[in-house]
């Protein structure tokens, strides 16, 4: 049971981690993350890196959609902007890895601001459609601006290099991708302890009231788009270094739907939600492979017969979670926490 946790200062009241138990859990997480590369094989390391990239991007989208209430289906396109920026800088200028990433975030943020302009006039589904429109324009640019984007073939990306070490294996990439993703999540968590973050939430809850409270809507909505696209840009940059090739078909509208689904399945407006959602969406289809593998000895030609089942099960799981856990997977975590807070009493 959780007792004696009364906060005595505002600072303590605002802290991200308020109890020793939370600190202990974070400690466990950090230890697990440090130990992971030494214990996981190449396949799980690949997935760990992919989860890190997806968490970074989903966290960005959560700032825009979950916290500011602006539905966007442009996250994939913003990631593509970041990925192409990295590819171009790496190929033509050869600037350092970190600088390329920041540039990727910056470029995507600028594009995000442009795309966000209609958000003052339209919201909800209308804004979602506007962002799809922007994605189509960007897709057209990627495909036809041959000189910069490499046209339909796209671009190959040289491996990232830090202190003269080329990051070519998943083991090496893990040590870069995971801390960056963690830093981005920490940044997002802290954002909502500031005036800006609270303004976003106010806009989400009721934009007219927010304006009455003195929040300039256009500025803050565009800021939200900029921050969210900055995250997408960095995630796209990491993606480019991870897959080492970027093309117009790398980031389709399907990717944008993937991230929106991750945020919704995980829990909108919750930092933990984006993390869990991105992890769920990335890992569940892979974990289901082991399900197929387990049944394989009992079914002839299992790989071919059961693969469609895997896709259906994944879809069904998403629907089931939405039906039974509309607040997202993060709500399950909250419920478990509440249970232990009250334990051994039931209510």
Task: Tell me the angle at which helices 302-324 and 271-295 cross, rounded to the nearest 10 degrees.
Answer: 150
Question: By CB under 8 A, is residue 285 in contact with another protein?
Answer: yes
Give the burial string for 311-330 (b: 16+ CB within 10 Å, else e).
eebeeeebeebeeeeeebbb
Q: How far is the CB of 150 from another protein (least distance, A)?
A: 10
By the rule CB under 8 A, 318 interacts with another protein: no
Residues forming a β-bridge with 156: 245
Tell whether residue 168 is a contact of another protein (CB under 8 A): yes
> Would you state the structure tokens that stand for residue 132, as one six-digit string?
């799809």
141 is a contact residue toward another protein (CB under 8 A): no
Q: Is 236 in the site for another protein (CB under 8 A)?
A: no
* Contact between residue 285 and residue 164 where contact means Cβ atoms under 8 Å apart: no
Q: What is the largest CA-CA distance in the chain?
A: 67
Task: Record the tokens describing residue 344, joined without a space.
Answer: 């051994």
Residue 249 found at the interface with another protein (CB under 8 A): yes
The yes or no reply on residue 4 touching another protein (CB under 8 A) is no
Write down the least CB distance from residue 295 to another protein, Å. Answer: 13
Which residue from 132, 289, 313, 334 is in contact with another protein, where contact means CB under 8 A?
289
Q: Distance between CA atoms of 83 and 77, rounded to whole angstroms? A: 10
Report the b/e string of 190-214 with b at 16+ CB within 10 A: ebbeeeebebbebbbeebeebeeee
Q: Can residue 152 be called a binding residue for another protein (CB under 8 A)?
A: yes
Q: Which is nearer to another protein, 176 or 227 (CB)?
A: 176
Is there binding between residue 284 and another protein (CB under 8 A)? no
Rule CB under 8 A: say whether 106 interacts with another protein: no
Task: Give me the least distance between CB of 254 and another protein, in Å please.
Answer: 8
144 or 190: CB nearest another protein: 144
Distances from the Cα of 199 to the Cα of 58, 214, 316, angstroms: 20, 9, 36
Asked if residue 340 binds another protein (CB under 8 A), the reply is yes
C-beta closer to another protein: residue 47 or 261: 47
Of residues 70 and 157, the one with the C-beta less far from another protein: 157
Q: Is 153 in the site for another protein (CB under 8 A)?
A: yes
Three-class DSSP labels, 221-263: HHHHHHHHHHHHHHHHHHHHHHHCEECCCCCCHHHHHHHHHHH
Nearest to 105 by CA among 137, 128, 82, 135: 82
Closer by beta carbon to another protein, 88 or else 251? 251
Q: Are 37 and 175 in contact (CB under 8 A)?
A: yes
Q: Which of residues 27-56 bind another protein (CB under 8 A)?
A: 28, 32, 39-47, 50
What angle (nearest 5°) sits at the alpha carbon of residue 247, between those of residues 242 and 249? 105
- Segment near another protein (CB under 8 A), from 90-98, 187-195, 263-271, 281-289? 281-289
Q: How far is the CB of 303 from another protein (least distance, A)?
A: 6
320 DSSP assignment = H
Q: Counting contacts by CB under 8 A, is residue 332 touching another protein?
A: no
Nearest CB to another protein, comparing residues 69 and 154: 154
Interatomic CA distance for residues 311 and 318, integer angstroms: 11
Task: Note whether 170 binds another protein by CB under 8 A.
Answer: yes
Query: Could you tell me the two tokens for 192?
Result: 């909502």
- Residue 9 in the binding site for another protein (CB under 8 A): no
Q: Which residues bind another protein (CB under 8 A)?
A: 1, 21, 25, 28, 32, 39-47, 50, 143, 151-154, 156, 159, 168-170, 243-245, 247-250, 285-286, 289, 292, 303-304, 307-308, 310-311, 340, 343-344
């Amino acid at each position: 049971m959780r007792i004696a946790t009364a906060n005595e200062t505002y600072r303590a009241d605002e802290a991200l981690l308020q109890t020793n138990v939370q600190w202990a859990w974070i400690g466990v997480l950090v230890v697990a993350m440090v130990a992971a590369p030494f214990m996981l094989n190449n396949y799980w390391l690949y997935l760990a890196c992919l989860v890190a990239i997806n968490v970074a991007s989903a966290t960005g989208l959560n700032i825009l959609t979950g916290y500011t209430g602006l539905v966007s289906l442009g996250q994939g396109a913003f990631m593509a902007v970041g990925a192409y920026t990295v590819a171009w800088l790496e190929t033509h200028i050869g600037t350092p890895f970190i600088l390329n990433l920041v540039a990727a975030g910056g470029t995507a943020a600028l594009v995000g601001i442009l795309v966000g302009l209609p958000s003052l006039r339209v919201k909800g589904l209308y804004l979602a459609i506007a962002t799809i429109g922007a994605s189509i324009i960007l897709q057209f640019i990627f495909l036809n601006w041959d000189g910069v984007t490499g046209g339909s073939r796209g671009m190959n990306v040289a491996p990232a290099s830090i202190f003269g070490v080329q990051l070519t294996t998943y083991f090496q990439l893990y040590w870069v991708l995971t801390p960056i993703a963690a830093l981005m999540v920490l940044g997002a968590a802290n954002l909502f302890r500031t005036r800006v973050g609270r303004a976003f939430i106010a806009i989400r809850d009721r934009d007219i009231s927010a304006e009455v409270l003195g929040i300039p809507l256009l500025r803050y909505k565009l800021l939200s788009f900029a921050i969210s696209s900055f995250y997408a840009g960095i995630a796209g940059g990491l993606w480019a270094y991870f897959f080492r090739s970027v093309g117009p078909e790398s980031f389709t509208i399907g990717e944008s739907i993937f991230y929106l689904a991750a945020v919704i399945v995980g829990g909108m407006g919750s930092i933990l939600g984006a993390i869990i959602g991105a992890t769920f969406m990335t890992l569940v289809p892979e974990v289901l492979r082991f399900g197929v593998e387990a049944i394989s000895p009992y079914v002839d030609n299992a790989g071919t017969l059961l693969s469609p089942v895997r896709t259906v099960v994944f879809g069904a799981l998403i629907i089931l979670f939405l039906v039974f856990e509309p607040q997202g997977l993060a709500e399950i975590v909250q419920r478990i926490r509440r249970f232990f807070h009250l334990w051994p009493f039931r209510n």
